Amino acid sequence: MAASLAPLRRVLTPRLSGISPTQHIALTYDDGPDPATTPAFLKLLSRHDVRATFFLVGEHAWANPRLVKQIAAEGHELGVHGWTHRCVPLQTPGRLTTELRRTRHLLTLPGGREVTWYRPPYGILTTEALVAAGANGLTPVLWSAWGWDWSARATPTRIVRTIDRTLRPGGTVLLHDTDRESTPGSWLNTLAASEHLLTAWQRHRLAVGPLGEHWDLHPVAPTARSVGSTPA
């Protein structure tokens, strides 16, 4: 459902879809932290000197505090992806509010950035989720392009081509730095696709970074041009 409504959502609610009037690309990763996979993404991002937003699941962050601190220490932004990866409509409003508060508190590190972003699991954003996010000082944000990288059919090339079909300058990309909620081993495809995307974006001299920088740059004239990252 979230995928089928995405084209309409991008038009009617561009900010919710992570679309800004700039040339900036917001790079986001969901479902971590995962000590078996997340460090590989951190190493890749460091090599490209790029920062991203990591939407973390609270129970995994609680189990891996050192990794959470490493993500933040390397300049990346932390966002709330719920305490568990349970679908929002299956939670009571009271429990949802409590779990978002618990996760935000856990991710608010001493001396770190304020945690302000919320992305619900599966991109399913209900009225109750909007109320719970607002009660916790969180701003919901989804995405404008994703690579279906969790799928068993995903390959690095398919991920890149799928993103390239909808990504425009000013868009937000959704990927996953773990396969906890995906096809086993799918993170390797995402890692390879991330390498290609970062190289292409930098070749096009596009600014790439976390959501916190996404609306801070100077606006540019609207463009329908693709970022052109699809392999030849």
Q: Is 34 a catalytic residue?
A: no
CA dist 197 and 229 (Å) reads 6
- Is 54 a member of any domain? yes
Q: Which strand (E) or helix (H) includes residue 146?
A: strand 145-146
Q: Is residue 223, in this structure, part of any structural domain at all?
A: no
pLDDT 10s digits, 97-145: 999 999 999 999 987 789 999 999 999 999 999 999 999 999 999 999 9
For residue 197, the Cα-to-chain-centroid distance in whole angstroms is 15
> 197 in a domain, yes or no?
yes
Residue from 24, 30, 177, 179 carrying the catalytic annotation: 30
**Does residue 222 lie in a domain region?**
no
**Within a domain: residue 227?**
no
Identify whether 228 is part of a domain: no
Instruction: Return the CATH number at 150.
Output: 3.20.20.370
Q: Alpha carbon of 123 to those of 135, 169, 170: distances in Å? A: 19, 21, 19
Residues 160-171 have a mean pLDDT of: 95
Say whether 30 is catalytic. yes
How far is 50 from 27, CA to CA, in rounded Å?
9
Whether residue 228 is predicted with pLDDT greater than 60 in this model: the reply is no
Number of structural domains in the chain: 1
Mean pLDDT of the chain: 89
Task: Please give the residue that has the higher pLDDT: either 59 or 218.
Answer: 59
Q: What's the pLDDT band for 223 if we cut at 50, 70, 90?
A: very low
pLDDT of 186: 97
Identify whether the C-beta of residue 24 lies closer than 8 Å to the C-beta of residue 205. Answer: no
Task: Say how far residue 229 (Cα) sits from the centre of its chain.
Answer: 19
Q: Which domain holds residue 162?
A: 6-213
* Long-range contact set of residues 5-13: C-beta below 8 Å, sequence gap at least 24: 6/144, 6/166, 9/142, 10/144, 10/166
Q: Is residue 32 part of a domain?
A: yes
Residues constituting the chain: 232
Beta bridge partners of 78: 54
What are the Cα distances from residue 74, in Å, to 137, 160, 198, 213, 221?
Answer: 24, 25, 17, 16, 32
| Residue 83 within any structural domain of the chain | yes
Which residue among the candidates 81, 176, 179, 214 is catalytic per the annotation?
176
